[in-house]
């Protein structure tokens, strides 16, 4: 048979395709629905948090930080409760990472605060001597992209039925409503910060990237 295949490229290609395709089907499909179910109490991200999550992704924080606490004592001691599948139900994309050059961040909201992040993102070495994390001063100057964040929330609601607007869940509404809600949430964070530029910008109706990022990090619990 193999000799025959070697002279018949079409059937050869079909054979190869069948052999490589079915492993994916067998491993990914059976638990697909089960794995997509949210854990009770897990909520979709607010627009401000999504904007922060996009900052996180655009700057490749996930190249140095994992968001997956494995079920070992050494990890739960260091980072908190081990991660559960349902906690990630609204994570598109997932951000587990593959290398812990820095610590895991899946529950960083439990033990780091707004002002700690502010100092640390501006100059990690000043807060943790010996840190190799880059400085992110530019986030104090660039504005958060609420439009794209809203676009993402709107898309997942529409296409994947993510339960915005339902009882106990974040409201989405129109872009203007979402923007207003984002400003209220951002206000609380800005109040906990001391950077004058960020405060002034907020007063002028401009949310800086760092504010959105901190909203996201504070929500990781």
Smallest Cα–Cα separation from 38: which of 128, 162, 142? 162
Distance CA 32, CA 149 (A): 26
- From the CB of residue 35, how many other CB atoms can be counted at a distance below 10 Å? 12
Q: Does 150 bind ligand HEC (CB under 6 A)?
A: no
Cβ at position 191, least distance to other proteins in Å? 26
CB 44 within 8 A of CB 156: yes
Task: Please answer whether residues 190 and 198 qualify as being in contact, where contact means their C-beta atoms are separated by less than 8 angstroms.
Answer: yes
Residue from 107, 99, 106 nearest 132 by CA = 99
Distance CA(220)–CA(67), nearest Å, equals: 9
What 3-state DSSP class applies to 210? helix
112 binds, among other proteins, ligand HEC, none (CB under 5 to 8 A by kind): ligand HEC
Of residues 91 through 120, those in contact with ligand HEC by CB under 6 A are 101-103, 105, 108, 112
* Residue 164: CB minimum distance to other proteins, A: 13
CB of 47 to ligand HEC, least distance (A): 18
Does 133 engage in binding with ligand HEC (CB under 6 A)?
yes
Q: Does 21 bind other proteins (CB under 8 A)?
A: yes
Q: Decide if residue 96 touches other proteins (CB under 8 A).
A: yes
Angle between helices 196-203 and 175-191 (to 10 degrees): 150
Q: Does 47 bind ligand HEC (CB under 6 A)?
A: no
Binding mask 123-162 for other proteins (x = CB under 8 A): --x--xxxxxxxxx-x---x--x-xxxxxx-xxx-xxx--
The contact set with ligand HEC (CB under 6 A) reads: 56, 59-61, 63-65, 101-103, 105, 108, 112, 124, 128, 131-134, 136, 213, 217
């Amino acid at each position: 048979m193999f000799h025959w295949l070697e002279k018949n490229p079409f059937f050869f290609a079909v054979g190869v395709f069948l052999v490589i395709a079915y492993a994916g089907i067998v491993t990914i499909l059976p638990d697909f629905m089960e794995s997509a179910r949210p854990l009770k109490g897990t909520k979709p991200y607010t627009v401000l948090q999504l904007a922060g999550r996009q900052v996180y992704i655009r700057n490749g924080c996930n190249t140095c930080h994992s968001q997956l606490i494995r079920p070992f004592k050494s990890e739960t001691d260091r980072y908190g409760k081990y991660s559960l599948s349902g906690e990630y139900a609204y994570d598109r994309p997932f951000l587990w990472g593959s290398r812990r050059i820095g610590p895991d961040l899946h529950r960083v909201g439990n033990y780091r605060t707004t002002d700690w992040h502010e100092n640390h993102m501006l100059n990690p070495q000043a807060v943790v001597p010996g840190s190799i994390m880059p400085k992110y001063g530019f986030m104090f100057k660039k504005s958060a992209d609420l439009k794209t964040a809203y676009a993402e929330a709107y898309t997942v609601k529409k296409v994947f039925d993510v339960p915005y607007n339902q009882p106990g869940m974040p409201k989405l509404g129109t872009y203007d409503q979402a923007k207003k809600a984002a400003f209220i949430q951002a206000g609380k964070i800005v109040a906990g910060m001391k950077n004058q530029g960020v405060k002034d910008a907020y007063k002028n109706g401009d949310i800086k990237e760092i504010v959105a990022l901190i909203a996201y990090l504070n929500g990781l619990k």
